[in-house]
Amino acid sequence: MRPLTKLALAGLLAMASSALAAGGDPQRGAQLAMQGDGSGAPCLACHGADGAGNDAAGFPRLAGLDADYLAKQMLDYNAGKRVSPIMQPNIDNFDEQQLRDLAAYYASLPAPASAAPANVSDAQLALGRKLATEGDWDTYIPPCSSCHGPGNRGVGHSFPALAGQHPSYIRAQLQAWQNNQRNNDPNQLMTAIAERLTAQQIDAVAAYLGSLSATAE
C-alpha cells in the first residue's frame, strides 16, 4: 500500500470509529422491509426478497453488506447528502432506529455468490482486474482493494464490499460521484478516484468487480 493511501486510511478509520452508533434489531428490520415506510414501496419490491438486488434494473445487492455502512447510506439519503429520487421516498418516514433495524436485517442475510455479468470480453475483465488489484499509477488511481480490502470484499463499516455487487450499480455510483450526485464519501476519497476514471475504465472495473465472489473461498 502506498503511503498516501495509508495516511488517508488512518484518518478515516479514526473518524469513522467515533461516529459508530447503536445497533439495530434484524427481526424488526425484516418486518419493516415487508411493510415499507407507509408512503414508499416495500424494500423487496426492488432489492428482492433475498436482498440480492437486480443488475438490469440497477438495484444494488444489500444482503451481507456491513450494517453500519447500510445505515449510514440511508441516513445520508434522508439528509440529502446522497441523492436518489427512486430510493429516498421509500425510507423518508423511517426514524434512525428503524433504519438501523433495516440495516441489521440486510447485513444478516447471506451474500449471493456472484453477480456474474454477461457479455464481458476477456480484455475488459483484464483491464478491470488491473484497476481493482494494482491501480493505474500513471493517472494516480490506487487499487480499489487498497481500501475495499482483500478480494474487494469490504473492510468494516467504512469500506463497502464491491465483490459480487451488480456492475450496473457500481457504474452508476462512479458516475454519480463524477456528476456530483453523490457527495457523502468521507474525505472525498471516492470523488477523487471517480473523477480520474474514464468511461472505459468504469465499465471494465464494474464488470470485473461484479464477477468476483462476494464470499471468501
Given the rule CB under 6 A, which residues bind ligand HEC? 5, 8, 33, 36-37, 40-41, 43, 45-47, 58-60, 62, 65, 70, 72-74, 82, 84, 86-87, 90-91, 102, 131, 141-142, 144, 146-148, 158-160, 162, 170, 172-174, 176, 184-186, 189-190, 193, 205
User: 46 among the known binding-site residues?
Assistant: yes
Q: How far is the CB of 74 from ligand HEC (least distance, A)?
A: 5
Cα dist from 203 to 8, 68, 148, 164, 206, whole Å: 26, 28, 18, 15, 5
Burial class (CB in 10 A: 0-12, 13-18, 19+), 85: exposed
Q: How far is the CB of 130 from ligand HEC (least distance, A)?
A: 10
Residue 77 makes CB contacts below 8 A (sequence gap 6+) with 83, 84, 87, 88, 91
Q: How far is the CB of 119 from ligand HEC (least distance, A)?
A: 20
Q: How far is the CB of 121 from ligand HEC (least distance, A)?
A: 18
State whether the Cα torsion 159-116-60-180 is positive or negative. positive
- Binding annotation for heme c: 43, 46-47, 87, 144, 147-148, 190
